[in-house]
Amino acid sequence: MTAAAPRGPQTRERLVQAGIDCLVDGGWAAVTHRRVAARAEVNAGLVHYHLGGLPGLRAAIAAEAVAPLTGAPDTHDQSFDSWLAEIASMVDALSDRRRDVVLLLTTMIGALSYPEVREVVGGSLAAVRDDVRRGLDRHRPDAGHHRRDEIAAAMVALIDGAVLAAAISDALPTGGSAAPSMLPALRAIATV
């Protein structure tokens, strides 16, 4: 028997959080109507009612997973080196939250199998590239338009790789922080 569920947005949020827990604990195969509802202590039919079924639930989970990627540093009134250091610090902050990293990486893997997850992840990664590109527009106006696009893509790939490395390695060569090694690499990519 399930407990009395909160109504409306609270039930939706409860289902999404239960879906996240299932995903982190068991991968995408663990995200089922029955498991999520049981974890949220609600009726399984509420997954369909509040989220449109599993595709809607997967999209909502993906949106939560990629949320830490948003909020690139504002480049106004910031030196080039300060901007790069802030990007490296953001990667460190995310890397310190192992559960968020596992959720993010598992979600990205899900983008290979689920179109609704691919759409959310793809949109988020495009937004991150756009944020980095805006920083490059300010700090590297000498690079051509096409070149700044290439540099932004390479910087985002470095960020993705650093987050992955932090997730699978308990000992970073810099004593627990990716920022000291990332900063020179970001600078090298950004000034090519």
Q: Which domains does the chain have, with CATH numbers?
A: 9-52 (1.10.10), 66-190 (1.10.357)
Q: Is residue 95 pLDDT above 90, yes or no?
A: no
Q: 3 pLDDT exceeds 90? A: no
Residue 155: exposed, middle, or buried by beta-carbon count in 10 A (0-12, 13-18, 19+)?
A: buried
Token code pair at residue 174: 């810099």
For residue 170, the model assigns a pLDDT of 57
pLDDT computed for residue 71 by the predictor: 66
Vertex 184 angle, CA 178 and 190, to 5°? 115
**Which two structure tokens, joined as six digits, stand for 170?**
């308990």
Q: Which residue has the tokens 């495009």?
A: 126
pLDDT confidence tier of residue 57, bands split at 50, 70 and 90: very high
**pLDDT confidence band for 1 (50 / 70 / 90):** very low
Which range among 4-8, 140-144, 152-156 shows the weakest confidence by mean pLDDT? 4-8
- Residue-wise pLDDT tens digits, 115-132: 999 999 999 999 999 989
Residue 9 to residue 11: CA distance in whole angstroms: 5
Distance CA 43, CA 183 (A): 49
Positive or negative, the Cα torsion across 4, 8, 14, 18?
Answer: positive
Place of tokens 């299932």: 22
Q: What is the mean pLDDT of the chain?
A: 86
Residues 154 and 159: their CA atoms lie apart, in Å, by 9
